[in-house]
Structure 1
Amino acid sequence: MNAHINLPHCPSPSAYRVAISRATHQVLDEPRVFEDGFALKMLGPDAENNFDPFQHNGVADRSMRAGIVARARLAEDRLHKAIRAGTRQYVLLGAGLDTWALRAAQFGSAVRVFEIDQVAMQSWKAAVFEANGWQKPDELEWIGLDLRNKTVPDALVNGGADLTAPMAISILGVLVYLSEEKVEHLLMSLNRLAPGSTLVFDYLVREEMLPPMDRVMMRATAEAMAAGGEPWLSSFDPRRLKTLLMDAGFEVEQDLGPYELNHIYFCRRRDGLQIAGGGFRHLSAIKQR
């Protein structure tokens, strides 16, 4: 069932799937790994009456949902650590329907938020805000970016960010949709960030490096994404990513797979919610120079 009955179709199916998973988590899962009081209405103003979470609670849906809320929690856990260390800029590349800026505004956060995404996606998100009667937080800046024409640091400068001060950057559900060449160019461009800046992203591991069951899951999901018009374009050897980050001045802090995330966020749950696998890992790093 489409919850956004008063809105046109979302221009990014993957962003809307993420939003559905976050909303479903708020309704069905207990205890919650990721608290998001805006998640349900981010699907549209009528979602509370028209959204059926049980339509998104199959075996594959549950594993995907666990992965989505775990990566969001990981990114925001790292963000809060950076804020405690003095960071006052947060960048979400491929922000989609993320709600951190709305949640932060409730407790008077002084952190500036830069959401980078396709212009069409940001226009749709602005329509959601308007339909819900939400005011765009003063600290939130929407920055449209086509990675084919401009680097992330250039877009941030044009959007008012200060590259001389540390920032926390989250890149979730993005890199797999870029070619390997573009991913490498993106990561290398981050060498312009100030020391103390932090980075969290997820990436797909090369198929030949995955266990057999993960290969099966990865192929099935990749085929579904391609059929929906959003093919996966890149995968990596974790050692290659570590080298790229070192060349850009970053030191890897964590590189976590499903087993580690399940242990951190889904251990000993009565409902059995966990990530079944599928080939994605989640990495955090800090800029040293």
Structure 2
Amino acid sequence: MRGKTTADEQGKAPDSTAVRVALWRAMHVQVDPPPHVLDDEISLRLATPDDGWRRRPDMDPHATSGFRAAVVARARLIEDLVTEQADRGVTQYVTEEATAATLRQIAGLAPGSTLAMTFLLQDELLDAADRPGLRASKKGAQAAGTPFVSFHTPQDMLALAHASGFDDARHMPGASLAERYFAGRTDGLRPSSGEDLLLATT
């Protein structure tokens, strides 16, 4: 019946990864000095965290700064691509087969549609300073029941996109987002190096 909510739906906790991302987006405005890459505190109201959320280990303003910067840079890029009818997705939570199936489906969308898909790099491709952070993230994701299952090289992702039907596909390194949105900052805030993007157009 319309307007009714089941007990299961009421009791279902929000995805912990989605909540963490929402809190990082809000935290960027609260703890990082301007200019802000993304001005979003609505996420905080949507996540409805408890009063002590800023004391969570994964909210440490210094230890998570690279992840926080990567999240807001990715969100800003998606906003900048909205006029190009961007679809978006992440790959670390699904198998390569599921990623390929998703790419094939999106490749069949209307001509001119743009896909922005993030993917985690294989460990050896990360900057040495970011590897401990990735290991900690993997451990946390595993404990939360949302393990990272896929890691890629840029060449692998481009090959997968072309095999799935995209003629126009390019790799966007995470470092390019740093140059695009964080250039000139004096506080040292920069995205971590573990996540790159695939941009593909139908």
Do the two structures share a fold, i.e. TM-score over 0.5?
Answer: yes
Q: Which has the larger helix fraction?
A: 2
SS in 2 for 1:235: coil
Q: Does 1:252 align with 2:169?
A: yes
Alignment correspondent of 1:153 = none
Alignment correspondent of 1:72 = 75
Q: In structure 2, do the counterparts of structure 1 residues 178 and 236 end up closer, same or farther at CA, with 3 Å as the change threshold? A: same
Unaligned runs of at least 5 residues, structure 1? 1-6, 83-166
Alignment correspondent of 1:270 = 186
Amino acid in structure 1 at the alignment position of 2:45 = K
Q: In structure 2, do the counterparts of structure 1 residues 32 and 41 end up closer, same or farther at CA, with 3 Å as the change threshold? A: same
Amino acid in structure 1 at the alignment position of 2:198 = L
Aligned length: 189
Is the CA contact (8 Å cut-off) linking 2:158 and 2:171 kept in structure 1?
Answer: no
Q: Does 1:40 align with 2:44?
A: yes
Q: In structure 2, do the counterparts of structure 1 residues 51 and 22 end up closer, same or farther at CA, with 3 Å as the change threshold? A: farther
Alignment correspondent of 1:218 = 134
Q: Distance in 2 between matches of 1:274 and 1:54?
A: 22
Q: Deviations over 1:3-41 (max 9, x none)?
A: xxxx86733100000111111122222221012252221
Structure 1 residue 73 displacement after superposition: 0.4
Q: Does 1:19 align with 2:22?
A: yes
Structure 1 residue 262 displacement after superposition: 1.4
Please provide the CA RMSD for this pair: 2.4
Structure 1 residue 72 displacement after superposition: 0.3
SS in 1 for 2:189: coil
Q: How does 1:223-242 map to 2 (within 5 A)?
A: 223-242=139-158
Identity %: 32
Unaligned runs of at least 5 residues, structure 2? 1-9
Structure 1 residue 52 displacement after superposition: 5.6
